[in-house]
Structure 1
Amino acid sequence: MANEARPCPCDIGDRFEYGELGHEVRVEHFKAYISNPTASTEKAVILIHDIYGWQLPNTRYMADMLAANGYIAICPDFYVGQEPWKPSDDWSTFNEWLKSRDARKINKETDAILKYLKQQYNAKRIGVIGFCWGGVAVHHLMMMYPELKAGVSVYGKCKMQDRYNLLNPTFFIFGEKDEVIPLEQVSSLKQHCKVDYEVKVYPGQTHGFVHRKRDDINPQDKLYIEEARKDLLNWLNKYI
């Protein structure tokens, strides 16, 4: 388990500088970052940020990567104006901070995003990807929204009491050396998933490796970063 003094080791992985390609929009009562593909499409992906929030350059990079692969990609501010976690914050206050940011209480914003994508972009097939806090949100949404055709949860902490009655295909990405998600938690997914799903554990990888670790840290890590990104794209391509 993670050290109690640092209950979510999300400082692992670089928060790199990135010049985003998309733009910000307002969707009802909150903002979102959206990146569009060059060709017209009816496919879209909702990208759910981690504890560092919707403005993290790394997360916007992932949205742009999705757009480059043919998806309308939108990353909403699911904290709705509340401050995201900052690297300088005191980890002893993390659990208290998290209480007002429940990853399972995002239905209002999700409804607004789905409406926006359908009305503004004529999106007909929509999926969802989430990282860390957002990975937990994906667990929730894939049990609540049948219109989400596919989900990818990237190092989202499992709740052992959940039955994981997923409504549509969901892909679960974990790092072998993730300190906050013991691998035994993954067994609850394998026991209860009824739809098509996949659980993949990437050797030697820590929390944040898919979207926050620089590709050039070491060659072995780079291989798994690239593999995970290809895997999540392949999952979306298969089901959306």
Structure 2
Amino acid sequence: MANEGKPCPCDIGDRIEYGGLGQEVQIEHIKAYVVRPSTASDKAIIVIQDIFGWQLPNTRYMADMLASNGYIAVCPDFFVGKEPWNPAHDWSKFQEWLEDKKPTNINKEVDTVLRFLKEQCGAERIGVVGFCWGGVATHYLALQYPEIKAGVSVYGIVREKEDRFTLKSPTLFIFAENDYVIPLDQVSALEAKLKEKCTMDYKVKIFPGQTHGFVHRKREDINPGDKLYIQEARTDMLNWLNKYM
């Protein structure tokens, strides 16, 4: 699910057998996975889950990667205890499942996490990275929160807001050329409108031959032909965050 206007089911991809280096904590009304860098930092990243939820090992692996690069990383449960999507579920019920889990209806949770990062973690510079459902959410937050220093939206587009091109945070959009969820014409339309209307720095990048989920749902050892693109996208993510944070 990476297109708010016409969401489609996703393939869960390659599950990473990964335990995680951080810990689960309670932040007011939501649970979250938090991992801290080896040295003190005032920079933090909110990592936003895909439809498979905040406990997916692949997403925690990405949070740990960010922490290893000097960021406090927090991956909250933006479904607030509601069951994440399971590939075994009936895909015909996907829209019904999504009704109370809109990626553009997370302000209460975001505000909670921002307070936590500022008051409990000493974060002074905060960014956002999101995948799929979280990519839509990241685009949404980049339109809503000027205090967010940088955003990386990985295969996600907000479609329904009139002002969806007036970014308030520098945002990198990462897409896959062969993404059946987000066709290239939607990516081209996004880039054209950003060029016309956006005064904030942004970048739209399409990775050739890749499919939806390649950045966090493909294992490099299983997909050696995609390894360079997986690594390049992750490097782009880190470079973007480093540039603005």
Is the structural similarity TM-score above 0.5? Answer: yes
SS at match of 1:210: helix
Q: Distance in 2 between matches of 1:211 and 1:198?
A: 19
Q: Distance in 2 between matches of 1:212 and 1:164?
A: 28
SS at match of 2:39: coil
Map of 2:176 onto structure 1 = 175
Q: Which amino acid aligns with 1:177?
A: N
Query: Which region of structure 1 is more displaced relative to structure 2, 162-171 or 123-132?
Result: 162-171
Map of 2:118 onto structure 1 = 118
Cα deviation, residue 194, structure 1: 2.1
Cα deviation, residue 92, structure 1: 0.6
Cα deviation, residue 187, structure 1: 2.7
Cα deviation, residue 49, structure 1: 0.1
1:81-230 alignment, distance < 5 Å = 81-159=81-159, 162=162, 163-190=164-191, 191-192=193-194, 193-230=198-235
Q: Distance in 1 between matches of 2:228 and 2:9?
A: 22
RMSD: 1.6
Q: Which amino acid aligns with 1:165?
A: T
1:25-64 alignment, distance < 5 Å = 25-64=25-64
Query: Which region of structure 1 is more displaced relative to structure 2, 18-27 or 191-200?
Result: 191-200
Give yes or no for contact 1:43–1:125 (8 Å, CA) kept in 2.
Answer: yes
Give yes or no for contact 1:158–1:181 (8 Å, CA) kept in 2.
Answer: no
Q: Distance in 2 between matches of 1:38 and 1:64?
A: 11
Check 1:52–1:12 CA distance in 2 against 1; reply closer, same or farther (3 A cut): closer
Gaps of 5+ in 1: none
1:223-238 alignment, distance < 5 Å = 223-238=228-243
Give yes or no for contact 2:172–2:204 (8 Å, CA) kept in 1.
Answer: yes
Give yes or no for contact 1:13–1:207 (8 Å, CA) kept in 2.
Answer: no
Q: Deviations over 1:207-229 (max 9, x none)?
A: 11000111123322011000000
Q: Distance in 2 between matches of 1:92 and 1:199?
A: 32
Identity %: 66
Q: Distance in 2 between matches of 1:39 and 1:127?
A: 18
Q: Distance in 2 between matches of 1:89 and 1:125?
A: 39
Give yes or no for contact 1:54–1:77 (8 Å, CA) kept in 2.
Answer: yes
Cα deviation, residue 104, structure 1: 0.5
Map of 1:80 onto structure 2 = 80
Q: Which amino acid aligns with 1:10?
A: C
Q: Distance in 2 between matches of 1:222 and 1:146?
A: 34
Gaps of 5+ in 2: none
Give yes or no for contact 2:12–2:87 (8 Å, CA) kept in 1.
Answer: no
Q: Which amino acid aligns with 1:183?
A: L
Cα deviation, residue 186, structure 1: 1.5
Give yes or no for contact 2:9–2:94 (8 Å, CA) kept in 1.
Answer: no
Cα deviation, residue 234, structure 1: 0.4
- Equivalent pairs counted in the alignment come to 236
